[in-house]
Amino acid sequence: MCKGLIAKKRGMTRIFTPDGICLPVTVVQVGPCVVTQIKTELTDGYNALQLGFGEKKESRTNKPTKGHLEKSGLKSAKVLREMSVENPDEYSLGQEISLDIFKIGDFVDVAGISKGRGFSGVIKRHGFHRGPMGHGGHSKRTPGSVGMCAWPAKILKGKKMPGHYGQSKNTIRNLEIVDIRSDQNLILLKGAVPGARSGILSILKK
């Protein structure tokens, strides 16, 4: 069985359980994904499926990629990703894999790219406390002293300082599938997942 699928984040909302409990959920469009390449231990050293997801203009797909996708009957694909599989012989090129591999109550890992926040200060990036906001204060949002004494007379690696924040791969583990709507290819996950709306995700079975 395929270990995961490619998905797109649609946004967040809330649902109510029969007990009246309000649950925050993330709506995710999962697949359908098309098998564009089959990798086996004999030819590649490992078992995996390359999956294609989404559409984009054919004019934005280069000729080598078009030739690769034609083998599976696709004209274009927005995303190509590999997912591990136990027995690749069960699959064929051009086969569609839907969200039927998941069921309500399953726990999954969701990997995605977090929102990019550009160059940020230590308060936003690391949660530092600010200084006094009075008129005499000179260290309102600055990180403060960062130097060392005579030895080692340098800033140690890993010091929390201003810098690039976000736009990094994050994985949220053990998210519960609250509901599945197969007719719309939607899965409702309890809690939040990385990234903004329309971001591409990888949903991995436990």
Question: Measuring CA to CA, which residue among 31, 33, 35, 32 is closest to residue 72?
Answer: 35
Domain boundaries, the chain: 4-117+169-205, 118-165
Residue pLDDT, tens place only, 151-202: 888 998 999 999 999 999 999 999 999 999 999 999 999 999 999 999 999 9
Residue pLDDT, tens place only, 9-26: 999 999 999 999 999 999
User: For the domain bounded by 4-117+169-205, which CATH number is listed?
Assistant: 2.40.30.10
Q: What is the pLDDT of residue 1?
A: 80
Does pLDDT of 55 surpass 90?
A: no
Provide the whole-model pTM: 0.84
Using CA of residue 7, residue 8, residue 14, residue 15, what is the dihedral sign? negative
Q: What is the pLDDT of residue 150?
A: 87
Residue pLDDT, tens place only, 82-101: 999 988 889 999 999 988 88
